[in-house]
Structure 1
């Protein structure tokens, strides 16, 4: 429970203000918990990596794609807790809906409104973007309402992340084909994290974190040792081998940056996965899920560098410290990223 707002020494006006502020602050915190606001920083990198894979710099349409992604991501968060309200009442009664701090109807209305907003923003970015955003929205709703507890659940979540990256590529006018390898790599990471998250409240799974650990190692190797099929403008600067290799096969700036960012990805994800494999208790499993989610940002940045865009990679990587700073704010201290 947050400490009360201090009352002024004279005991007058500020005390009334504090009583008004507390309910507003409590409502804001409840919605921040429902929408997992700290996790929002893992979303813009999808569109940025997609634009980089398509050989384009971020532009106004990329910003629209990011806005669409954020809306659809938050729609999924609200819908997830609405769909899980009965289960959470038993396993996680502190969450906003079972605790009564957010009404179920309000969460469902938010999911609907955010989905609509996401599709509108995608339409503003162009028909190709809308053509990707529509199946992305359908995948989000299908996962939360039908697929989450089925064997297809992790694959559906992986497809959603992959489509989100393709949404960024679709805004460039160059098509999404060039971004398919990056989408597949990001989707594989999401598949592994989602598989671990299925035992988040019960623990007991050694295989899932071990598989996620192996996936992390494989993805790190692929990002650092296999280059993307670069657009024509960047192909001349890339020789076979490392991404963006320079003359005589020496790593270029983007190749070295991709390696550094992939290493940061592995360091962020591997340790909590390893701990969860050694002791698959609910707390360590939850920590592994959180680590996997946080590792999404350096992976997105590594994919952008792998595509030859150092500026986009650095911009994406900067989202990680920004997200940590946001999560450390007083109102965010009890807001879980998972």
Structure 2
């Protein structure tokens, strides 16, 4: 198994969208020191994410043989058994890292997260509840960063959940094209998430002026970058437009996460998350993140 094939199987570049989930959750914990180890949770999150991507291709191997024969399993570059082994190994690693770094409270969040990843890939993906099932994994990922006090991070968790639901809904048109009404509804959802995020940042009494401005600015950038790509898919509902909007939406996680981090005054973390965007875009040109 070549490293390049493993990178493609796990959609490794998309992991650049992962750290901001846990970090935004950790930034919203209210207990003193509660978010400390939450900053290390992206290690567990990345393993669980890569596990889900490998499992996704294992579950879709027969469909991909017809629709996407260039993928690692149908092309013969990775055997189905090896792909399943990668998925299982990464899943176990993710749970182990979460338990090691965060103890029982982290395991109490990471275990349901792993189960939702499994449920989505194995059963829910093509069901009507598929987008909600996928969205719940990103919401739980935020809560994993806030595992010591998860209720404190409900706002960024809800924002990430809503963004992922729309992203997943639109991604269903990557092969055969989407519908204008679907892309329009997803665009409206993106604008609503951006507005709610900007409102929360601007009216946060604990945020300083710089944090408020950064939160509002990043919310606007998120609406512009992600919403514009989705609006284009509404006007031109082709498979290419849907794929472009989906990839842009994955990259847009960094802007949304950055806005929630900035709201809590974590401007350095916000800059790091947003700064990962160019790396994601560069790598996604070689390895598809979807």
- The interval holding the TM-score normalised by the smaller chain is over 0.9
1:223 matched to 2:180: no
Aligned to 1:269: 226
Report the TM-score when normalising by structure 1: 0.81
Could you tell me whether the CA contact under 8 Å between 2:20 and 2:273 is conserved in 1? Answer: yes
Q: What pairs up with 1:123-134 in 2 under 5 angstroms? A: 123-124=99-100, 125-134=102-111
Give me the whole-angstrom Cα distance separating, in 1, the residues matched to 2:33 and 2:215: 17
* Runs (5+) with no aligned partner, structure 1: 1-23, 228-240
1:151 matched to 2:119: no
Give me the whole-angstrom Cα distance separating, in 2, the residues matched to 1:243 and 1:311: 19
Could you tell me whether the CA contact under 8 Å between 1:244 and 1:252 is conserved in 2? Answer: no
**Higher alpha-carbon deviation: 214-223 or 130-139:** 214-223
Could you tell me whether the CA contact under 8 Å between 2:132 and 2:165 is conserved in 1? Answer: yes
Give me the whole-angstrom Cα distance separating, in 1, the residues matched to 2:153 and 2:83: 34
Report the TM-score when normalising by structure 2: 0.94
Give me the whole-angstrom Cα distance separating, in 2, the residues matched to 1:58 and 1:205: 44
Match of 2:115 among 128, 138, 144: 138
1:71 matched to 2:47: yes
Match of 1:97 among 73, 87, 90: 73
1:279 matched to 2:253: no
Counterparts in 2 of 1:128 and 1:59: CA distance versus 1, 3 Å: closer
Q: What pairs up with 1:155-304 in 2 under 5 angstroms? A: 155-170=132-147, 173=148, 175-227=149-201, 242-244=203-205, 252-304=209-261
Counterparts in 2 of 1:29 and 1:222: CA distance versus 1, 3 Å: same
1:216 is displaced (CA, Å) by 1.0
Q: What pairs up with 1:43-58 in 2 under 5 angstroms? A: 43-55=18-30
Q: What pairs up with 1:3-14 in 2 under 5 angstroms? A: none
1:35 matched to 2:16: no
1:60 is displaced (CA, Å) by 6.4
1:321 matched to 2:278: yes
Counterparts in 2 of 1:62 and 1:49: CA distance versus 1, 3 Å: same
Give me the whole-angstrom Cα distance separating, in 2, the residues matched to 1:195 and 1:92: 19
- Is the partner of 2:234 in helix, strand or coil? helix
Q: Which has the higher helix share?
A: 2
1:334 is displaced (CA, Å) by 3.0
- Mark the structure with the bigger radius of gyration: 1
Give me the whole-angstrom Cα distance separating, in 1, the residues matched to 2:206 and 2:137: 31
1:80-106: CA deviations, max 9, x gaps? 000000001111111111111111111
1:263 is displaced (CA, Å) by 1.6
Question: How many residue pairs are counted as aligned between the two chains?
Answer: 288
Counterparts in 2 of 1:58 and 1:96: CA distance versus 1, 3 Å: farther
Give me the whole-angstrom Cα distance separating, in 2, the residues matched to 1:245 and 1:118: 34
1:208 is displaced (CA, Å) by 1.8
Could you tell me whether the CA contact under 8 Å between 1:143 and 1:156 is conserved in 2? Answer: yes
Give me the whole-angstrom Cα distance separating, in 2, the residues matched to 1:189 and 1:281: 21
Aligned to 1:233: none
